[in-house]
Amino acid sequence: MLVTPAVQAATIGLFRESINTLHYMKDEFTDVTEAAIQDVIPVWLQHMRQLLNQVDVGEAFTRNPEHAWELLKVRYSIFKASPRFPSLARAPIG
């Protein structure tokens, strides 16, 4: 099953909103928040690092500009989520 970049960007946006919600709930629901931090977030961060390194956007613009804009939407979504995860913002970009 092929997941389009638009779906990836929307999914990352949902992740970002989930993290914001966890931040607001952390004092009231400590157990749930801790479980998400330990179990869910590392998997998402690894996946986002893989997406950042997956494709050279500059090269994509040379080959298929329309698709390259879609890839930029994914990167924008990741970087929009990155203030909560500074190490993600420092991930090498392919």
Model confidence at 1: pLDDT above 90? no
What pLDDT does residue 56 have?
A: 82
pTM for the predicted model, two decimal places? 0.77
1, containing H or E segment: none
Q: Which helix (H) or strand (E) holds 5?
A: helix 5-25
Which tens digit of pLDDT belongs to each residue from 28-83?
988 988 888 888 888 988 888 888 888 788 888 899 988 889 989 998 998 888 77
Q: Considering only CA atoms, which of 1, 3, 84 is closest in space to residue 51?
A: 3
Inter-residue contact 68 to 57 (CB < 8 Å): yes
Q: What gap in Å lies between CA 75 and CA 68, rounded to an integer?
A: 11
